Structure 1
């Protein structure tokens, strides 16, 4: 019975030769991580027992044992980050498993040139994530008091008869909500437009819900930037200025990184 292969990612063969892989425990917590040659690359893998880590066994664990899932997800994350600190890395998603080394090679070989090109493109670059949150009440009050659109509507309503005025005033709250969403999006797009000038590539992701973030504020922006390392310092200075500039409007800019090229390696 062949052992399963857990795949963490790919590194350049020349980097692996110059800097041999340090001792790290694999996904099962017992065996060690090692590399498998794939053209000019090395696949960073560990072996798994097919009985313990079969597709059915993994499905049962992920559905019924949240503690196990958290531990294994942390293991994967820490291993990826350790590899990223040492090598140019194409990171793979959590629980990327092959039935054998032969199946791994069958998958990699048709994509070899594309993967080698991807390693060259991500070398010397870092991925950074910006999440923007907004305390709506603070910005909503500013819009209610200062928005020309809201002001014009209030003036229009003030000239109506008392009966019609009562019903039209109910629409003010909806108008303020609309203007709030527009203002938040305009501010976030402006910040993103200025920050992506420092990046070789950038992308906007879906916002997370409060259940996912665990925060009381709404997330109103979620973007990823791919930066050449010499540009990182200027990017961080600009981000700090933006954070200070919009704090009074109720915005919180949360920047994390550097991360491996999860979004810009160009591979699935």
Structure 2
């Protein structure tokens, strides 16, 4: 069977000779017209419909496959601007891949034109958990003198937490506006669940930005400057990831939620 990693235009430079993908097999280019699919052979015993469904429930197998998939995408991103496909996109043979390229040619060309010369940067803003906030009405070691004193402290703590949250939202909103103005496109994703991501703090902003390679250094410098500003707001942390293939921008704009710069 054929595992398909991405669709792109013909490569101007070769991929690393030692690059391997799923199953430890080097990917190859399958050319169809002016489109290229990066593919690799995979065994039917693992990637036919039924065994694949079972494998997708196996976290160890899924993690290993995802790492191999991402390794190929990362290598491809160094030489072109690919349109990554979903994990475990497989076809019976080369003819199935060619049919996909033929049927999706219009969309592939449209998206590749949009992301040409661009990469994706991710920016997240986190605020410390509410329960980690300190009580501004007194030291944590001071026991309340009465029930009324306890309630007063709790009200004061809730007020402080609400004010911190409002400041965090305001900071995230202003940051997104500033970054969007320096990007060609942007997407707002749903906040991450801290229990699932195992990242400390509450996710206030989870955004992706499509940025020209030539302007990426300026974009990174802008984010770095905002980290100092965030440090001045109690409990805020700004994280930058990338550059990535433009995962958040490979659908048609009308089908994606988010904002455009």
TM over 0.5, shorter chain: yes
Residue 247 of structure 2 corresponds to residue 247 of structure 1: no
Residue 23 of structure 2 corresponds to residue 28 of structure 1: yes
Structure 1 counterpart of 2:101: 108
| SS state at 1:94 partner | coil
Q: Distance in 1 between matches of 2:2 and 2:150?
A: 69
Structure 1 counterpart of 2:193: 209
Structure 1 counterpart of 2:258: none
Residues 26, 47 of structure 1: 8 Å contact kept: no
Q: Which has the larger radius of gyration?
A: 1
Change (3 A) 1:10 1:243: same
Structure 2 counterpart of 1:84: 77
How far off its partner does 1:42 sit?
Answer: 0.8
Residues 202, 225 of structure 1: 8 Å contact kept: yes
Structure 2 counterpart of 1:199: 183
1:2-35 deviations in Å (ceiling 9; x for gaps): xx2110001212x2xx434444334222x43212
1:65-92 deviations in Å (ceiling 9; x for gaps): x322221111111111011112221111
Q: Distance in 1 between matches of 2:46 and 2:241?
A: 35
Structure 2 counterpart of 1:69: 62
How far off its partner does 1:262 sit?
Answer: 0.6
Number of positions where the alignment pairs a residue of Structure 1 with one of Structure 2: 243
Where does structure 1 lack aligned partners over 5 or more consecutive residues? 146-162
The within-5 A match list for 1:33-52 is 33-52=27-46
Q: Distance in 1 between matches of 2:168 and 2:174?
A: 10
Structure 1 counterpart of 2:212: 228
Superposed CA RMSD: 2.9
How far off its partner does 1:252 sit?
Answer: 0.9
Residue 119 of structure 2 corresponds to residue 119 of structure 1: no
Q: TM-score, normalised by structure 2?
A: 0.81
| SS state at 1:52 partner | helix
